[in-house]
Copies of this chain bind each other. A is one copy, B any other.
Amino acid sequence: MINTPHGSVETPVFMPVGTQATVKALTPLQVKEAGARIILANTYHLYLRPGHETVREAGGLHKFMGWDGPILTDSGGFQVFSLGALRKVTEEGAEFASHIDGSRHMLTPEYATGVQQALGADIIMAFDECVEYPASYDRTAAAMERTLRWALRCKKAKTGEDQALFGIVQGGAFADLRAESAKATAGMDFAGNAIGGLSVGEPKEVMHAMLDVTVPLLPEGKPRYLMGVGSFDGIVEGVMRGIDMFDCVLQTRTARMGTALTRRGKLNLRNAAFAKDFSPVEDGCRCYTCRNFTRSYIRHLINANEMLAATLLSIHNIHATTQFVNDIRSAIESASLARFRDEFFENYSG
């Protein structure tokens, strides 16, 4: 259970991503009806547009975007890392060029924390340095150590009690660096602990190995959050290893490509095979989309370039994922998680 000023959330939990203060193609009401209880927004994007001061003046992110449940903001670290050649990292912070207009900006641990305080999310993240996969041991160690120094600076910079600050474990694909990072981060007594720098291109086995060394070193009584992971297999493997929180753009991004997520795997509804398939996207699903529309209709919307296709598939994909996590929660309660996972993988094509 995660308690926030905007309500409590049962764990494990999946958070849909609302990059620019909107879960793409959905109203907040649709997000809620799809089963989401907490969402993520991106500090980097909102800092650039509309600007955190505008959001602050609007009364904070909840009011600005019309979402009254809990919100988590990332620190901007991963987005700046993703800019590649457009950014330069020093001990002070990360200097980067805006992807919108090329203007120069600098995010430091203190500034990233201040921006997140202006946005007003319930959970905010420490500013971290992520490395690509593969990266050398020395480079990975240096970024991990800097992330620890930055984490302390974020902790000092944060004011007030309303927002929970989470630390982020780094250490790339190196077990000893992950362990060192996890111990040091846990020792800083954050409200929760995240694992960053995974799902950046490494094989699944590497991710699992890193989780296996990291999670046991993070306090069980505080939320453990695996950043950027949200596929069905990623979630169940994460929960098996003790993860409580997940986020991913997969649900809405694949929806915009015409793809549905189901317990059996992905379904590309552009496929001509669905032209006269009058069954729902996923049999037995109780989402608005599956209760009211057919594969045939959604394929038509995709073909006709109608925005409603993205909306209906986003609703389904978020519902399917939150339902999957709810089922995992039930399996945990009945002590049958391993069996749940095995049965899931029997039918899942990825």
Which residues of A are in contact with B by a Cβ distance under 8 Å?
Answer: 20-22, 24-30, 45, 49-50, 54, 57-59, 64-66, 275-276, 278, 288, 292-294, 296-297, 299-301, 303-304, 306-308, 310-312
Give bound CA distance, A25 to B45, whole Å: 24
Partner of A308, one of B24, B59, B308: B24
A57 to chain B, nearest CB (A): 6
User: A20: nearest residue on chain B (CB-CB)?
Assistant: B304
Given the interface pairs A296-B50, A296-B54, the reply to whether A27 lies near B303 with Cβ below 8 Å is: no
Chain B residues contacting A306 (CB-CB under 8 Å) are 20, 22, 24
Whether the Cβ atoms of A278 and B49 lie closer than 8 Å is no
A26 to chain B, nearest CB (A): 7
Give bound CA distance, A30 to B300, whole Å: 20
Whether the Cβ atoms of A297 and B27 lie closer than 8 Å is no
For the complex formed by this chain, how many copies does it contain in all?
A: 2
Chain B residues contacting A27 (CB-CB under 8 Å) are 30, 288, 308, 311-312
Whether the Cβ atoms of A292 and B66 lie closer than 8 Å is yes
Whether the Cβ atoms of B50 and A303 lie closer than 8 Å is yes
Given the interface pairs A54-B275, A297-B58, A300-B50, the reply to whether A26 lies near B64 with Cβ below 8 Å is: no
Partner of A50, one of B20, B21, B275, B293: B275
A275 to chain B, nearest CB (A): 7
Given the interface pairs A293-B66, A297-B64, A300-B49, the reply to whether A308 lies near B58 with Cβ below 8 Å is: no
Whether the Cβ atoms of B54 and A276 lie closer than 8 Å is yes
User: A292: nearest residue on chain B (CB-CB)?
Assistant: B66
Chain B residues contacting A64 (CB-CB under 8 Å) are 294, 296-297
Give bound CA distance, A288 to B64, whole Å: 14
What are 22 contact pairs spanning A and B, CB under 8 A?
Answer: A20-B301, A20-B304, A21-B300, A22-B304, A24-B306, A24-B308, A25-B307, A25-B308, A26-B308, A27-B30, A27-B288, A27-B311, A49-B304, A54-B296, A57-B276, A58-B278, A58-B294, A64-B294, A64-B297, A66-B292, A66-B297, A307-B310
Chain B residues contacting A311 (CB-CB under 8 Å) are 25, 27, 307, 311
Chain B residues contacting A310 (CB-CB under 8 Å) are 307
Give bound CA distance, A297 to B28, whole Å: 13
User: A66: nearest residue on chain B (CB-CB)?
Assistant: B292
Give bound CA distance, A26 to B297, whole Å: 14
Whether the Cβ atoms of A22 and B58 lie closer than 8 Å is no
Whether the Cβ atoms of B50 and A288 lie closer than 8 Å is no
Give bound CA distance, A304 to B27, whole Å: 16
User: A289: nearest residue on chain B (CB-CB)?
Assistant: B27
Give bound CA distance, A292 to B307, whole Å: 22
A44 to chain B, nearest CB (A): 13
A119 to chain B, nearest CB (A): 13
User: A307: nearest residue on chain B (CB-CB)?
Assistant: B25
Chain B residues contacting A28 (CB-CB under 8 Å) are 292
